[in-house]
Amino acid sequence: MLPEPSFAFTVPSVHDDTVLACRIYLPVCLGGRSSSGNKAMRRRADSTRNSSMSGTAATAAQGTASWVKRGVILAHPYAPLGGCFDNPVVHSLAREILDAGWIVGTFNFRGAAPSKGRTSWTGKAELNDYISFAGFFIHFLHFLNTTQDHESLSSPDSPSQPTGSPITPTKYPSQQSSGSCTAPPTALILGGYSYGSLILTNLPPIPSILSRFTNPPAGSAAAEVLLRAGAIATQANHDIHAFLHRNRSRRGACSARLTTVGGEETSPEKRRRSREMRPNMEGLRKSFELPRRIISLRGVGRKGGNGAHNDDDEEEEHGSSIPLPDTSFLLVSPLIPPTSMFLTMFSRGGRMDAEVEARLTKSRTLAVFGDRDAFTSVKKLRPWAEALNTKSGGLFESREISGAGHFWMERGSDESLKEAVRAWVRRLGRSDGAEEGR
């Protein structure tokens, strides 16, 4: 059973400002709730906390001290067929990765309540929905700080609420800005199940995604996404350090309650003006052709900037650049076009197919599918997976589950899926030098 999320909130889609419902789950080592609802286990944990710090609190404190920034985004199945972030398979995957010490982020595409809007016929709007949440999530992880002293979080340099738009990441406490210049890059898994995997494989590269959030106009959807990332991260930092303070004081490791954030960070007047001045679709298309790499996330919001950065100026102003996240991909029940249900989606040519293939073979990727998948025949999935594994030199891994269908409802199939994901995530943690914080 997946626990209650740590944060429930909304962000606007950079496609057309459609409001998207989102959730963040923090692992236990960062003060998140345990995935077990067993009362007996809670009573035993309470007894241990009352006797000494050697139990749950001490374990959590140790896990936080060794925790390396890592998070996963999980996208859900097709909304018109009931897909949403409460899908049982999404919950099962989220719990498995959460228990391994990763921060989990989920969101509802347009058309999946409580998100607004309707499902599109082309999938391009949903592509921008994923980009919107990915932009939020990457910045949220950057702003997150699990090492800074609790007392310093109330300093003037660390406001409890972001001000201004667009924001400058250095306003908010982060591991990189607190003296940890040798911190490893953030580990990021971009995941998708069924339709979510189809959207995922069509995403532009991470630098292109982040370019959408470089110096966005005040009041725009992109600026609002950045402000929301800063606000949620600031609250998370306070919650995490309050959790650690309770542990050090031997008061027990009480988990933080759900924080629900509604509305918007920007004034209604600015958001209204931004919508009236929204660029046309040609402008949005050209925004994907912005710089191939992001010099530094710290350049976001620089006054007078146009999105282009000078390497020398960046080094002089901020020191070493912030590394891009170390990105991996998780595809569950992947849909391989042409699939009859999605023939109208993504007018992909050979160039796009080559770009998708290159992305999946140059990053660590896991594809898990059943041999009874009714949407994509295993006769297509097997050679597809074998070819990518060979081309990637082993970076692309696949796991075929015998007797499993597309919805993972067959006896034992869900456990086999979780086992495959658990083993892969464990290998990712080892290669990143991260300890598993449970």
Work out the pLDDT band at 262, boundaries 50, 70, 90: low
Work out the pLDDT band at 255, boundaries 50, 70, 90: low
**Distance, CA of 114 to CA of 344 (rounded, Å):** 26
**Under 8 Å between Cβ of 73 and 105:** yes
Across 275-295, average pLDDT = 37
Residue 122's pLDDT is what?
A: 87
**Under 8 Å between Cβ of 100 and 422:** yes
> Among 90-104, 267-281, 290-304, whose mean pLDDT is lowest?
290-304
**Distance, CA of 143 to CA of 141 (rounded, Å):** 6
Across 88-107, average pLDDT = 98
E strand segments, 30-141: 70-75, 103-107
Report angle CA 34, 40, 43 to the nearest 5 degrees.
80
Report angle CA 235, 238, 239 to the nearest 5 degrees.
85
Residue 66's pLDDT is what?
A: 76
For residue 264, what are its two tokens?
Answer: 């918007």
**Under 8 Å between Cβ of 84 and 111:** no
Amino acid at 181: C
Residue 336's pLDDT is what?
A: 83
Residues 215-239 as b or e (16 or more Cβ within 10 Å = b): bbbbbbbbbbbbbbbbbbbbbbbbb
Residue 90 CA to its chain's centroid (Å): 13
**Distance, CA of 213 to CA of 132 (rounded, Å):** 9
Q: Where are the domains of the chain?
A: 7-431
How many C-beta atoms lie closer than 10 Å to residue 313's C-beta?
A: 12
**Ordered DSSP codes for 146-198:** SSS-GGGGGSTTS-SS--SSS--GGGS--TGGGT-TTPPPPEEEEEEETHHHH
Q: Which of 179, 182, 154, 158 is nearest to 168 (CA)?
A: 158
Residue 146's pLDDT is what?
A: 84
**Under 8 Å between Cβ of 116 and 221:** no
Q: Which of 71, 17, 8 is nearest to 224 (CA)?
A: 17
For residue 158, what are its two tokens?
Answer: 């660390």
**Under 8 Å between Cβ of 373 and 407:** no
Comparing 265 with 343, which gets the higher pLDDT?
265
**pLDDT (tens digit, 9 = 90+) per residue, 332-349?**
999 986 664 554 566 555
Comparing 187 with 432, which gets the higher pLDDT?
187
Comparing 59 with 196, which gets the higher pLDDT?
196
Residue 116's pLDDT is what?
A: 96
**Distance, CA of 221 to CA of 227 (rounded, Å):** 10
Phi, psi torsion values for 210, nearest 5 degrees: -70, -25
How many C-beta atoms lie closer than 10 Å to residue 128's C-beta?
A: 20
User: Is 50 exceeded by the pLDDT of residue 22?
Assistant: yes
- The angle, 0 to 180 degrees and rounded to 10, between the axes of the packed helices 268-276 and 221-248 is 140
Amino acid at 378: V
Across 222-232, average pLDDT = 96
Comparing 437 with 351, which gets the higher pLDDT?
351
Comparing 253 with 244, which gets the higher pLDDT?
244
Work out the pLDDT band at 288, boundaries 50, 70, 90: very low
Start-end of H helices in 78-164: 88-99, 124-143
Highest mean pLDDT among 45-49, 56-60, 194-198 belongs to 194-198
Comparing 173 with 26, which gets the higher pLDDT?
26
Work out the pLDDT band at 404, boundaries 50, 70, 90: very high
User: Is 50 exceeded by the pLDDT of residue 294?
Assistant: no
Cβ contacts of 17 within 8 Å, gap of 6 or more: 221, 271, 275, 278
Q: Which of 144, 136, 107 is nearest to 235 (CA)?
A: 144
Supply the CATH classification number for the domain 7-431: 3.40.50.1820
CA atoms within 13 A on the CB side of 388: 25
Residue 246's pLDDT is what?
A: 81
Could you tell me the pTM of the whole model?
0.78
